[in-house]
Amino acid sequence: MPRVAIVTGAARGLGQEFAVALAGRGCVIAGFDVADQSATQARIDGGFLPVEVDVTDESAVATAVERVAATLGAPGIVVNNAGIYPPIEFEDTTLDDWHRILRLNLDGPFLVTQAALPYLRAQGWGRIVNIVSAAVDLGPPDLVAYTTSKAGLVGFTRALASAVGKDGITVNAIAPGLTHTETAAATTGAHGGFEHVRSLQAIPRTEVPEDVVSTLLYVCDEGSGFLTGQTINVDGGSTRS
């Protein structure tokens, strides 16, 4: 039986690439997003269930995971990718901004993982992957709220790995650098972000989604059952020091 994977934020960017790559490895994919996922569905030849869901809504997430289990089968892989990274200077960050960023970037993974966990435990196997950021180590000055949310997700990864390792479930985080996606190009990239990040890297080119996909497939692999609680930086060496 193929593994069933939930990928959040699957409509575009890295989430779309993750969904397509896992489908290429034989997984059946449920994409969670509030945006239209037709572009992702068009790239996957069958085996894709688009689910319109706000991952910060507890009851909606529970219903969505139940729908996945009833339609595709019990999920075994959870990729917590959905997130936002609006550049805001600290002094300009409102409490609403702070809550909005932490709610999607931290509450979302908590809710999706908690709803899916009983299905992983019942199988005695699972892969939970949290997409964090090299910003946790770099500490960019205009991403204080974002960096805080991703640092929290690193802690979530480590502690949850300890809690579920006995059940055959691994929990790992992947920390990309600034990756060239449509969203990044329209925000950070539009203000010289790509050039700045390249200047920090050992590999002097802009990161692309394919650079991250290979690591995702590795941590989700059947043979990666002894890798857990780790944060893997895939950032061209920007955090090597």
Which residues are within 8 A (CB) of 13 and not within 5 positions of it... i.e. 6 or more apart? 181, 182, 183, 184, 209
Tokens representing 74 are 């019990």
Is residue 131 classed as helix, strand or coil in its secondary structure? strand
User: Would you say 115 and 65 are in contact if contact means Cβ atoms under 8 Å apart?
Assistant: yes
User: Which residues are marked as active site?
Assistant: 146
CA atoms within 13 A on the CB side of 63: 9
The four Cα atoms 79, 84, 85, 89 give a dihedral, to 10 degrees, of -140
